[in-house]
Amino acid sequence: MAETRDVFSIIDGEPHRTDAPSVDIHNPGDSDDLVARAQHADADAFVAAARSAKAAQLEWRRVPAPVRGVAVHELGLILDRNKEALSQLVTREIGKPIAESRGEVQEAIDTCIFFASEGRRLYGQTVPSEMPDKQLFTFRVPVGTMAVITAGNFPVAVPSWYVVPALLAGNAVVWKPAEYTPAIADAFTRLIHAAGFPPSVFQMVLTDGPQTTVGLERAMAEDLLGKVGFTGSSEVGRSIGELCGRNLVTPTLELGGKNPLVVMPDADLDLAVEGALFSGFGTAGQRCTSLGVAIVHESIHDDFLARFDAAARGAAVGDPTEPVLYGPMISQKFADTFERWLEKLEPHHALHGSTGQGRITADNPREGFVGDPGKGLYYHPTIVSGVTMDDVLYQQETFGPIVPVTRFSSFDEAMELANGHGYGLSSSIYTTDPRSVFRFRENITAGMISVNNSTSGAEAHLPFGGNGKSGNGARQSGIWMLEQVTRWQSMNWDYSGKLQKAQMDVATFEADRDFTL
């Protein structure tokens, strides 16, 4: 049996021990495996970490940006050297299939590779003035101290999207990871410190949601935070956005998704099914970019559904250390939520994709299951056809291995179905007609579009984020994240030796406006 880790918040580089009882974190794919004993801190610890981070940021911002980029480069190298160990820990703590875990850690490495050189490209501008003997400049400056609160379904990749560019730009970070990924958070924090980042510049606080809210409110009241980054549910994101608004702190909100996959009549159906299978059931449907609703043209609906049903029935499900489509639910919390979704099935719905429904057990088996279903939080894949816009399965994010399917007759109807739920994160269209592609791009409200590919998948140099219920329009990854972790500062330098007043002392030309040839 692998080692059980005792983990704590890490404040100023040291474990923050309290009198609170430890919380046991078990492997969701093997309940006999105790991954970690985590001791939670409270709001006081969060505020203390923010105070220390703000003080440390004053020195960190003075480190030249190219030198900060060297630390980012070192982090990428350290992550690469520890890629397999960290990937195995991701699989062990949240049950993500090992191939996906390795891809996630690679995403963090790619983020470091991208941003390492951005330390030499934090460009400002020289701007011509409307007056003589005067120069105008713009500069990027750090936002200060950034609180980062992340979900646990991508416990390495998503934090890296915030932390790496924030530190590169000269900010300090207080990170609150998900309660159910403390071992990964501990490991990632130690790797960041090993790369050379000052311990007080990057703080990690293990605590629960209510204590986080109290800590955020107090830290903002003391003017300790210049930014809040949050990845999680739309409901919690809304409350964090309200809290930030009251304190005039700008949030970066990356929230849930109900990502549509539109299948046009000219689509390659086998390719569309492959994309739907991965985006619908990869990570057991526990991604913000998971397929939310498959929208299929009526002329091919039955054919698509039959192929999708066969693909789901034949997919390998089970032990995440083996080559499987998906493993267990991340934690009991999400398993309980998913079971409540299964209670919302309506009489007009038809089920496909599996011979069973709900949790996979010895009494409710799945043919071809990989491993021992009794050891973990494993659930049958469920495809639900006959879904309408009035159904809660259409209207809300489900976050589990369930894919609603509906049909359309016209392109306008497809777009109404693709946008009608109010989310706007990811989207996909399967077609061979360029006109359909561009009409889709023009009309979709989502921040991200895939053509003949799944709704899931991100690259470190492309903007990631959504609109509506999916976020406040902020974008992560690539150069676009610099807009979240820096502010623009302008400077004018007048060397004329006299006071020149803009718009008042501007030279003009005398023109004869009555002149004609």
DSSP for residue 249: -
Of these residues, 89, 167, 288, 300, which one is catalytic? Answer: 288
Q: Is 244 a catalytic residue?
A: no
- State how far the Cα of 427 lies from the Cα of 450, in Å rounded to an integer: 6
- The answer to whether 291 touches 276, Cβ cutoff 8 Å, is yes
Q: Which of 499, 486, 508, 495 is nearest to 138 (CA)?
A: 486
In 247-391, alpha helices (H): 269-281, 301-314, 332-342
Whole-Å CA distances, 397 to 181, 257, 337, 471, 498? 22, 6, 11, 14, 62
Rounded to whole angstroms, the Cα distance separating 237 from 369 reads 36
Contacts 24+ apart (CB under 8 A), 356-363: 356/380, 357/382, 359/335, 360/317
* CA 160/CA 175 separation, integer angstroms: 11
Q: How far apart are CA 197 and CA 71, in angstroms?
A: 7
CA 456 to chain centre: 11
One-character DSSP codes across 99-149: HHHHHHHHHHHHHHHHHHGGGG----EEEE-SSSSEEEEEEEEE-SEEEEE
- Three-state DSSP at 401 gives coil
Angle between helices 434-443 and 411-419 (to 10 degrees): 40
Q: Which residues are catalytic?
A: 288
